[in-house]
A and B are shown apart, each in its own frame.
Chain A
C-alpha cells in the first residue's frame, strides 16, 4: 500500500457541493436521441411489402390486414404487427424498410398488466409515443441492405444506332443479371400489378440460383412470349417495385429477357425444358383470328390443353403489332420468331394472308370450329381531322410502320413532323430518323404532343433515346392546321396547349392562339392513337352482341362475348393497348374456352 491509496478517498470531498450525475427518479428519463424503443409506422407511406417480417430474426412481426387500408396495385393493404415478447429491438426491420416508413422511437417505458397488449400494429393502434420524433430511423441516403442503383444496360451509342435498324439494347451479362437479381427483396408486390400476374420474384430467384431452365418454366406459366416481353413490355411491375420507393426499381423486364436469351433457339430444347413434347389431343378445334399477343397466348394455352388450333392472319407473318408496329431496333424479327416457332411446335397451325370477313366469314368459322377467339387489334390510324390533314403527304404512323416491315417503299422526306406523344409516335419518329439517315445522311424529325413533357404517354426512355438520336421533341402544343402552299405541304401550325381535359375529365383541349408556332415540314405523320376494324362482324353478329360506350365488345370475366357463346374476344380491342394485357387476356380467354367446352 502506498501513500496515494490512503489519501485518494478524501479527494471525493471536492465533489460534495456539485450536482449529482445520477438521477433521483429514473422513471420518465428520456433515452438517448438514437435509442431503439417502440416502433412507429407511417401507415400511409407503408405498402405492406413484408420485408420487415422477412428479415426479423426473432419472428416478431406478422403482416395483418388493417381496416380502412384497401388492397390495391402497389399496396398489399397489410401492415406489420409487432410481438414485443419477441422483439429484440435490433432495428433490422427499420434498416430494410423499403419505404422508410417504419422507425423506432426512443420511447422505451410502458407498463401494462395484460401481456396481449404488447402485441400491436404500430401506427394503427394509437400509442403515447406516436408523435415522438427521436429514435432510430433508416439511415439515408447511401445506406442500404440492397443495391439502390440498377445495373447499367449496355446500349449502342446514339450515333451508331440511328443509322441502322439493328437492336441497340445489348442485354445483361450473367454477372450483371445476378447482381441486378440480388437487389430484389422478393416481396411480390409487383405480381398483382402485372396484367399477366407473372411469378416475378420466383424467376428473379432462378437468376440468382443461375437456373435458367427453372426460370423458363416460371415464365411460361403465365407468359408464352418471354423474348418479346423481355424487350418491349410496358413493365408496369417496375412502377410499383418496392425498391423503387428509395432507389431504382428492379430492371424486371431486362431480367426476363436475360432468362429467355439464355435458352437456345431450337424448339426441341424448349419442349424438353417445358415438358410439352407429348401433349394429348382432346379432339376439339378452335379458330383464332389474329396472331397478335392475345391470339398467340390463347393459342399456346389452348394447345397445352390439347385443342387443335388454327390461327388466321391477314398479314404474311405472325406477331400482329409486335411485328408490324414495333420497329426492329426495339424488337428484332428473329426474337419474335423464336417465341412463335415454339408455339407453332405445339401443333398450332398458322394460315397467313387470310382476312376473316373477306376470305372466310366469321359465321363459317363458327360452324367449322368449336369456338372462335378474336384478337384483331387496333390497326386503323386515327386522324386529327385538322384542315389540310387530307393532303397526300399526311400519313398515318401505323401504315408507315407496317410498310417498313413488309418492305413496301416508304416515303422519306427531308423534313418530317410527327403529331403524337405516345410510344407509337416515338417508334415512327425514330424509324423516320433512321430512314432519313439512310437517304440524306442527317436527321430532321420533330415530334409534338398535346401533353407537357411530364405527362407524355410515351415511356421516358423512348423520349430520351429519340432525342439522343437527333430527333426534336416539342411537347405541349396542339395541331391546328397543316399549312399548304399551292397544294404543297409546307408545315404544321400549332398552338400552345393550356389544358387537355375539362372539368368533367372529358377530352376537350384548350389552346392559347397567341402562342402560335409553325413547324416546317415536307411530310406530316399522325400518331394520335389507333382504332379497331370490326368490319368482319356481320350485322347479324353485331345485333347479337353488345357494345359499351367506348365501342368495345362487352365480354364477361372469361372474355366470352355477351350474347354469342362461341365467340371470345381479347387483345387491344378489349383492354390495353399493350402486349402484356393481350397475353393476360389471351390466357384467361383460353381458360374460359376450356370451361365453355368442357364445363
Chain B
C-alpha cells in the first residue's frame, strides 16, 4: 500500500513540467545562499515556486534589499499583515517576485503588537507606501516617514480602534452603529425545541428550603 502510494507520488512528480523540479531546486539553492548570510528563524516551502521565510525585524530591510539587488527579486507583489493576538505579535509579509526564475518569496517579519512600528521601505519600491497606508488604517502600524500615512485609506472618518485587530469587536460595533431592522425575530434552537417537543417536562430541580 505504502509502496503504491510512493509510486503514485513519484509519477505525479516526474510528470510535472520541467519547471516544477527546476524551481524547487533553484529555491533550495536560494535558501542555502540566504542562510549563509542571514539567520532565518523559520522556512516553509509552500509550493514549488513559493517559499516563506521568517526573519528578524532589525535584519529585514537588509534581507529584502539583498533579495532585490543580488537575487533578482525585482518585483514587489504585496505587503500584508496577520494579527497573532495569542503571541502578542503582528506578522508582516513582504511578497517578492523573481521574474527570471518565476518564483516568489514571502519575507515574514514579526513585530510587537503593543508597539507596532516598522521601518518604511517605500524608498525601495515606491508603491509600498500605499500598502503601508492601508496597514496603518487596518492594524494601526506606524511606518515613520511613509508618505500620506495618516490619510484615510478606505474608511472615511474612522475614529474607532483599527478594525482588523482581532480584539476589535465587530459584532458590538455593528449593534451599536447600525439600527435594528424592524420585524426581525430569531429563535434559540434548544429553547424552540423545548417549546415544540417537551413543553411540560421538568428541566430544573425544584427545592423546598428552610429560610
Using a CB–CB distance below 8 Å, which chain A residues touch chain B?
48-50, 53, 56-59, 61-65, 71-73, 76-78, 83, 85-86, 119, 187-189, 191-192, 197, 199, 201, 220-222, 275-276, 278-280, 282, 301, 304-306, 557, 584, 587-588, 591, 594
Contacts and interface: CB of A to CB of B under 8 A. Distances in A.
Nearest to A202: B190
A114 B25 CA distance: 59
B192 interface: yes
A305 B170 CA distance: 47
Given A78-B192, A279-B208, A301-B205, A192 B187 contact: no
A301 B190 CA distance: 24
A557 B205 CA distance: 18
B12 interface: no
A189 B209 contact: no
A220 B203 CA distance: 10
A189 B189 CA distance: 7
A62 B185 contact: yes
A22 to B, nearest CB: 23
Contacts of A222: 202-205
Contacts of B184: 62, 83, 119
Given A57-B174, A58-B170, A76 B189 contact: yes
Given A71-B197, A199-B203, A278-B209, A85 B181 contact: yes
B205 A192 contact: no
A591 B208 CA distance: 13
Interface in B174-211: 174-175, 178, 181, 184-194, 196-198, 200-210
A304 B192 contact: no
Given A192-B193, A197-B203, A591-B202, A57 B185 contact: no
A304 B189 contact: no
B171 interface: yes
Contact of B193 (A71, A86, A119, A275): A71
A224 B84 CA distance: 44
7 A-B pairs with the lowest CB-CB distances in the bound complex, closest first: A188-B190, A62-B186, A76-B189, A306-B208, A57-B170, A192-B193, A71-B196
Contacts of A78: 187, 189, 192
Given A279-B207, A304-B207, A306-B208, A192 B197 contact: yes
21 contacts: A50-B188, A53-B186, A57-B170, A57-B174, A63-B189, A65-B187, A65-B192, A72-B197, A76-B192, A83-B184, A188-B189, A191-B190, A191-B193, A192-B190, A192-B193, A192-B197, A197-B203, A221-B204, A301-B202, A304-B205, A594-B206
Interface string B146-189: 00000000000000000000000011001100100100111111
Contact of B189 (A48, A73, A221): A48
Given A57-B170, A86-B174, A197-B203, A71 B209 contact: no
B209 A279 contact: yes
Nearest to B196: A71
Contacts of B191: 188
B105 to A, nearest CB: 25
A466 to B, nearest CB: 28
Given A222-B204, A278-B210, A57 B171 contact: yes
Interface of B: 170-171, 174-175, 178, 181, 184-194, 196-198, 200-210
Contact of B194 (A187, A192, A306): A192
Given A48-B189, A83-B184, A192-B194, A220 B208 contact: no
A61 B198 CA distance: 26
A64 B186 contact: yes
Given A76-B193, A301-B205, 7 more contacts: A49-B189, A63-B189, A76-B190, A201-B190, A222-B202, A279-B208, A304-B206
A275 B205 CA distance: 12
A515 to B, nearest CB: 33
A208 B170 CA distance: 24
A438 to B, nearest CB: 40
Contacts of A85: 181
A305 B187 CA distance: 33
A71 B205 contact: no
A71 B196 CA distance: 7
A76 B189 CA distance: 6
B206 to A, nearest CB: 6
Contact of B174 (A58, A280, A587): A58
B187 A63 contact: yes
A594 B205 CA distance: 13
A304 B208 contact: yes
Contact of B198 (A58, A65, A192): A192
A433 B208 CA distance: 48
A279 B204 CA distance: 17
A276 B207 contact: yes
B200 A557 contact: yes
A71 B192 CA distance: 9
A220 B205 contact: yes
A279 B210 contact: yes
Nearest to B174: A58
Contacts of B181: 83, 85-86, 119
A192 B194 CA distance: 6
A388 to B, nearest CB: 47
Given A71-B197, A76-B193, A187-B189, A59 B205 contact: no
Contacts of B201: 197, 584, 588
Contacts of B198: 192, 197
B29 to A, nearest CB: 32
Contacts of A187: 189-190
B204 to A, nearest CB: 5
Nearest to B200: A557
A492 to B, nearest CB: 39
A279 B187 CA distance: 37
Contacts of B185: 62, 64
Contacts of B200: 557
A304 B210 CA distance: 11
Nearest to A218: B204
A280 B188 contact: no
Contact of B188 (A64, A119, A188): A188
Nearest to B211: A280
Contacts of A201: 190
A76 B196 CA distance: 9
A323 to B, nearest CB: 24
Contacts of B205: 220-222, 301, 304
Contacts of A61: 186
Contacts of B202: 222, 301, 587-588, 591
